[in-house]
Amino acid sequence: MDGAVLVVSAQDGIMPQTREHILLCRQIGVNSIIVFLNKCDLVKDEEMYELVEMEVKELLDKYKYDSEKITFIRGSALSSIQGTEEELGKKAIEKLIHCMDTEIPEPVREHEKPFILSIDQTFTIEGRGVVATGSVEGGKVKVGDEVEIVGYKRKFKKTTITGVEMFNKSLDYAQAGDDCGLLLRGVEKNDLKRGMLICKPGLFTVHRNCTAEVYVLNDSEGGRKSPFFTKYKPQVNIFFNFFKIFYNFFLIYFAIFYWFISYLFLVLY
């Protein structure tokens, strides 16, 4: 992600998800944030606007964002849709788009690195084959290139790109930063899963174990209320459908009862 628009209700103020969104932006490295103060058509008190903005600034400062350099826009998405209150509607949205164009810097794309695409979705085009969609994280790929499908299985599957599409247009190639679909030769839909990689042959290997660094949310961030220690195993709760179980037992007992009555009838008569 290159930037984020944080939408906060001028009527409700900071919500629990607001804190989670800012924390998520910090964790995944989003440096550019624009704050859109929504529902300003429902609140006409200037002091209320300032109070909400002050709360948001304190939260941004807590997660090491420079709140003084972040743009706050007051508006109303509903007014923009309905065409009412032009200052809070149309003009506010235009200002938001302008800020997105000017304040979110153009990211540096890694075109020179080997090709990598993380699979987001897969679907089948009748008569053509399987298409894998996702964002190209690095490098460049063109029609006819040989690639490798990596993930889940230790044995990789090699295939060839037979088509590149983006926004319903056929292209000769895709490069870093593009959201595209790749048509793959000789691949079944079951061979692909979300999260697998399509990359340059020989670029990656699969491992069963790894060392990772994790950040665990605390209670105020929407996470755990109690700590956990070494060798902790998360509990898994399995819920069953009571009525489905009851119905299955009823069928079993009815079958046994029917068999018993039939047996008695044959013995007695």
| CA distance linking residue 101 with residue 71, whole number of Å | 13
Sequential pLDDT tens for the chain (269 residues): 788 999 999 988 888 888 888 888 888 888 899 999 999 988 888 888 889 999 999 999 988 898 888 999 999 999 999 988 888 889 999 999 999 999 888 877 888 889 999 999 888 887 788 899 998 988 999 999 999 998 877 778 889 999 999 888 888 889 888 889 999 988 888 888 888 899 998 888 877 788 888 777 777 766 778 877 887 776 655 444 545 555 666 677 777 877 777 777 776 65
Token pair in block for residue 255: 């079958």
Instruction: Enter the pTM of the model.
Output: 0.58
Q: Which of 119, 117, 130 is nearest to 190 (CA)?
A: 130
| CA distance linking residue 124 with residue 85, whole number of Å | 46
Give percent helix, percent strand, percent coil of the chain, each to the nearest 5: 30, 30, 40
Token pair in block for residue 98: 């302008």
